[in-house]
Structure 1
Amino acid sequence: MTPHDYEYLRKLLKDRSGLVLSSDKQYLVESRLLPLARKAGLPGISELVQKIKAGSERVTVDVVEAMTTNETFFFRDKVPFDHFRNTVIPKLLQARVARKALRIWCAAGSTGQEPYSLAMSIKEMGSQLAGWRIEIIATDLSQEVLEKSKAGIYSQFEVQRGLPIQLLVKYFKQVGDMWQVNADIRAMVQQRQLNLLHDFSALGTFDVIFCRNVLIYFDQETKIAIFNRLARVLEPDGFLALGAAETVVGLTDAFKPYPDCRGLYHPNPQRAAQVTSPTLAPAMTAPRAALRVS
């Protein structure tokens, strides 16, 4: 790969996905894209670049997906899920008692471990959520990882990373040497392809947004824009969960840290009073997009 090819790919990835690569990450690009070039029958990355320049959207999509597929595992970092069970849900149970409905968005759902971790957490609450309508939307830029999420099939290695054995036995069935999430848990999650750089107001409003371990790859200007748009689709008393290395501090006053809950934020009421949010489209629904807990 020539320096010119690398600069071209850096700009492409930032424009298409928001991913910012420093000048010393050429080795990462080569490790991700050389297998893609060989799979396409091309001798190297320069030929991939030529395909993109010639207008091949399929190759462009494949390159972006190869570079933006990030690591994930069940109950990653544990703390956000403790906050979800011990702080977020109890607060929302009181606030939403009249409508008995919750909407949750995993904004970087990847291969499904995060949204399914939330679904299992909700299931474990049992009678507390009896009769409630729970909707979990999992979005990602990559259609390939969304297909894996939808299937809910994981290797032994994947289910051993962060997933308690009692939940594996309770909510998965063995399929050969793989494990599949039970149908009732899969039915709680709806997968949709979405680029966070684009408008997402058509998703409707949410009570909880998990946007973890994705903004660290964006530059400051992009982070600020996304935070401000997230604020517009989060209910005034809703919750935003970020990754351990992410923060709103110094970037936007649209959110404030939630007291004594690291990585958890809520909308800033003073900012909300100053900003008139655009009209949001009604929440899109689908037959399997929500579960009424019985």
Structure 2
Amino acid sequence: MSGAAFETIAGLVRTRAGIVLGADKAYMLDTRLGGLMREHGLESLDAVAAKLRAPASERLAAAVTEALTTNESFFFRDGKPFDHLRRILPKLAVARSGGQRLRVLSAACSTGQEAYSIAMVVEGLGLAGRVEVLGTDLSTDVVRRAREGLYSQFEVQRGLPVQMLVKHFRQEGAQWRVSPAIRALARFETGNLLADLRSLGTFDVIFCRNVLIYFDAPTKTRVLSALAGRLAPDGVLYLGGAETVLGLTDRFATVEGERGVYAPVVRNLLAG
């Protein structure tokens, strides 16, 4: 693969998904684009790049972007954010007058494990009629899988307590499907964090975990600003344990005593 081909492919993914591929990630292209190259009859990455530069390349561009997007996810990842969610959801429910529904966003939701984990927390708190969970992801393929709610034995063993597996899943052969009651609490749409998010409306809670690590600093700032515009004044933002808002934006403040939990600076009342 020529340097020009790498720059074309890396530039495409950066523009469309915000993901920065350094030269040290060049090895990923052969691995992740192999099937796509066979599907499109392209013999090399140089041929992929050449076709991307040509007119009418939208279908290939979308496929390349999806193939190079990381879709790692598992149930109740890191645990503590969900413990904190259990504490703050009832407070938010009380704060909403007239039975107003709470809205939770699982951004870059991948195959749905995070959104369904949130839904299980909601059900456990007796708030099933009060909370809407929306999962969004750039990849149409993983959104389709999330909607299906069907997971392998390996996937349900990653972070999912056995009592929740028994309660909220039904076995189908060698796989497990999320129960209708939990699936009814979550819906999934394709969506790009780099796009205009205003059409999504306002959320009381936003999960955007282990996403910013793939972006450069300007893109992180852009995404955080967009999320701040979608979060209620007394809402809460969850980032991954290795992510921070420090040095990127002044629109969020840390929630004292909590790692990866942030509140809008206009009203930081959710500590504890």
TM-score (norm 1): 0.87
Secondary structure of the structure 2 residue equivalent to 1:269: coil
TM-superposed deviation, 1:190: 1.1
Secondary structure of the structure 1 residue equivalent to 2:68: helix
2:73–2:113 Cα contact (<8 Å) kept = yes
Q: 1:90 to 1:133 in 2, by over 3 A?
A: closer
Q: Take 1:234 and 1:33, find their aligned partners in 2: how far apart are those partners?
A: 36
Secondary structure of the structure 2 residue equivalent to 1:262: coil
Residue in 2 aligned with 1:229?
226
Do residues 12 (structure 1) and 12 (structure 2) align? yes
TM-superposed deviation, 1:97: 4.8
RMSD: 1.6
2:77 counterpart letter in structure 1: R
- Structure 1 unaligned regions, length at least 5: 272-294
TM-superposed deviation, 1:226: 1.3
Q: Take 2:138 and 2:243, find their aligned partners in 1: how far apart are those partners?
A: 20
Do residues 209 (structure 1) and 206 (structure 2) align? yes
Higher RCO (CA 8 Å, separation ≥ 6 residues): 1
Counterparts of 1:1-294 in structure 2, within 5 Å, are 1-54=1-54, 55-86=56-87, 88-126=88-126, 129=127, 132-269=129-266
- Structure 2 unaligned regions, length at least 5: none
Q: 1:261 to 1:25 in 2, by over 3 A?
A: same
Spell out, residue by residue over 1:148-181, the C-alpha distance to the aligned partner (whole angstroms, 9 max, x if none).
Answer: 0000001111011111111111111111111110
Residue in 2 aligned with 1:291?
none
TM-superposed deviation, 1:35: 2.8
TM-superposed deviation, 1:100: 4.1
1:69–1:142 Cα contact (<8 Å) kept = no
1:38–1:44 Cα contact (<8 Å) kept = no
1:93 counterpart letter in structure 2: A
TM-superposed deviation, 1:270: 7.8
Q: Take 2:28 and 2:68, find their aligned partners in 1: how far apart are those partners?
A: 9
2:234–2:267 Cα contact (<8 Å) kept = no
TM-score (norm 2): 0.94
Alignment length, in residue pairs?
267
Residue in 2 aligned with 1:288?
none
Q: Take 2:34 and 2:46, find their aligned partners in 1: how far apart are those partners?
A: 10
Residue in 2 aligned with 1:292?
none
Percent sequence identity over aligned pairs: 51
